[in-house]
């Protein structure tokens, strides 16, 4: 989603006040963001939250 929105993990981390390593772990699906963070990410990227939780085309 970051590539699609022409956003970097570093910039998203800065906007969220998170460590870039944390956002990187979310991007690689090593860990999951909290619901609160998912909501904020969807707002920042201007996408429905469902787009952030899809796996293999399914919710």
For every residue of 3-36, DSSP letters joined together read TTTT--HHHHHHHHT--HHHHHHHHTTSS---HH
Query: How far is Cα 14 from Cα 18, in angstroms, rounded to an integer?
Result: 6
Domains with residue ranges and CATH for the chain: 9-52 (1.10.260.40)
Q: Which helix (H) or strand (E) holds 47?
A: none
**pLDDT confidence of residue 1:** 86
The model's pTM: 0.84
CA 7 to chain centre: 10
Report the alpha-carbon angle 38-40-47, nearest 5. Answer: 80
Q: Per-block average pLDDT, block size 10, for the chain (59 residues)?
A: 91 96 93 96 95 69
């Amino acid at each position: 989603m970051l590539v699609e929105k022409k956003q970097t993990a570093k910039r998203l981390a800065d906007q969220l006040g998170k460590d870039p390593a944390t956002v990187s772990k979310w991007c690689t699906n090593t860990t999951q963001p909290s619901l609160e963070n998912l909501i904020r990410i969807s707002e920042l990227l201007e996408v429905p939250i469902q787009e952030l939780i899809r796996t293999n085309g399914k919710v």
